[in-house]
Amino acid sequence: MDKHLPAGAKAPAVPRSPLSPPRVTDYDNGISAIDADYLRPGLAAIHLIVEGGKAALVDTGTSSSVAGVMEVLRIKDLDAGDVAYVFVTHIHLDHAGGAGEFMHRFPHAKLVVHPRGARHMADPARLVASATTVYGEAEFKRMYGVIRPVEANRIIEAPDGFNLDFNGRPLLFLDTPGHARHHYCIFDRQSQSFFTGDTFGLSYREFDVEGMEFVFPTTTPVQFDPAAAHTSLDRIMSYDPAYAFLTHYGRISHLPHHAVEMHDLIDAHVAIARRLRNVPERHTALTEELGELLLQRIIAHGCKLTQEEIRNLLSLDVGLNAQGLEHWLDQASEGR
Ligand SMILES: [Zn+2]
């Protein structure tokens, strides 16, 4: 048993390793990344922003992630009543699966969600049904537990350009489709940072080489839109941010470099998908080629992990990226 695991927190299926980021990473400007304990250490973060004794959380992990968040609040001399906002960058369940439970535990919080996601937070039946089709009922329960609805009067919709005053700290919400059409990113002027959910891709700390990160896109089903993904990246970069906080995982810098790489890797994913559109065993072929593309890029980046370690860290995302690209290919007139 991990001695750092707070009481009541569910242990992730994979134990922490020396390569995993710590359970809590504190940055400046009152920002921390808390491990959501989702599937493996260092996979999904919940970001905490503290401003003048009030707290806001960016993404929620799943219902069982709340125990770890409560423990971190206690350490920071905050209690459940101090949580003013729960922000969900989009409503995929690794980001918003815990929203109902979080709102139940944090009685003064408002939930801020993209207008396209709001009704699914108030009535999660469709979210639950579609995830249950993918995973089956038992696996769904194991991964996500029970998904509570959120009272409609506690939900704030954040359309493009929405400004929110978080205890005197201005936050700007931008509509950022590409990964999902119900996705926003948050610009925090105080830290000159964006909270990007999945719009700026994924970057696991295990792939860091002397402080330089490796970032790659997520093309998961069912709303991947490469043109929108490019536009959203450019829109984020137009604010000249110093940092991005990624749900998967934590803070990255060197954003101009990563933006170029992201544009290139989105195009590379799309090119592979188009080329393999009509091959037999398409899913297997796509998974192999996407895995090889990222493996070679990570080796070129200077990563010293073994190929097996790299492949293990990538396998979940490569499978999901292949599925999302297939869905994109199969939509009428898409991907031609
Ligand atoms: Zn995600």
Distance 204 CA to ligand 1 centre (A): 12
Q: Tell me whether strands 162-166 and 155-157 are parallel, antiparallel or unpaired.
A: unpaired
Percent of the chain with pLDDT over 90: 88
pLDDT tens readout for residues 305-334: 999 999 999 999 999 999 999 999 998 555
What average pLDDT score do residues 94-113 get?
A: 98
Distance CA 103, CA 100 (A): 5
What per-residue confidence (pLDDT) applies to 333? 59
What per-residue confidence (pLDDT) applies to 334? 53
pLDDT tens readout for residues 172-196: 999 999 999 999 999 999 999 999 9
Distance CA 196, CA 191 (A): 14
pLDDT tens readout for residues 27-49: 999 999 999 999 999 999 999 99
pLDDT tens readout for residues 197-213: 999 999 999 999 999 99
Distance CA 156, CA 149 (A): 14
How sure is the predictor about 169, in pLDDT bands with cuts at 50, 70 and 90?
very high
User: Which strands form 169-175's sheet, in the order they lie side by side?
Assistant: 162-166, 169-175, 184-188, 193-197, 243-246, 250-252
Distance 119 CA to ligand 1 centre (A): 20
Strands (E), the chain: 24-26, 31-35, 45-51, 54-58, 83-87, 110-113, 155-157, 162-166, 169-175, 184-188, 193-197, 243-246, 250-252
Distance CA 23, CA 33 (A): 8
pLDDT tens readout for residues 121-150: 999 999 999 888 878 899 999 999 999 999
Distance CA 179, CA 131 (A): 17
Q: Tell me whether strands 24-26 and 45-51 are parallel, antiparallel or unpaired.
A: unpaired
Q: Residues of 34-54 as b/e, b for ≥16 C-beta within 10 angstroms? A: bbbbbebbbbbbbbbbbbeeb
Whether the CB-CB separation of 128 and 89 falls below 8 Å is answered with: no
Whether the predicted pLDDT of 7 surpasses 50: no
Distance 255 CA to ligand 1 centre (A): 19
| Mean of per-residue pLDDT scores for the chain | 94
Distance 200 CA to ligand 1 centre (A): 11
Query: Which value, in Å, is the radius of gyration of the alpha carbons in the chain?
Result: 19
Q: Residues of 154-170 as b/e, b for ≥16 C-beta within 10 angstroms? A: bbebbeeebebebeebe
Whether the CB-CB separation of 303 and 310 falls below 8 Å is answered with: yes
Whether the predicted pLDDT of 261 surpasses 60: yes
Distance 323 CA to ligand 1 centre (A): 14
Distance 237 CA to ligand 1 centre (A): 20
Q: Is the dihedral of CA 92, 318, 34, 205 positive or negative?
A: negative
Distance 92 CA to ligand 1 centre (A): 7
Whether the CB-CB separation of 166 and 51 falls below 8 Å is answered with: yes
Distance 59 CA to ligand 1 centre (A): 9
How sure is the predictor about 247, in pLDDT bands with cuts at 50, 70 and 90?
very high
Q: Which run of H or of E encompasses 142?
A: helix 137-144
Distance 247 CA to ligand 1 centre (A): 7
* Residue 136: exposure state from Cβ atoms within 10 A (0-12, 13-18, ≥19): exposed
What per-residue confidence (pLDDT) applies to 19? 82
Whether the predicted pLDDT of 241 surpasses 50: yes
What per-residue confidence (pLDDT) applies to 314? 97
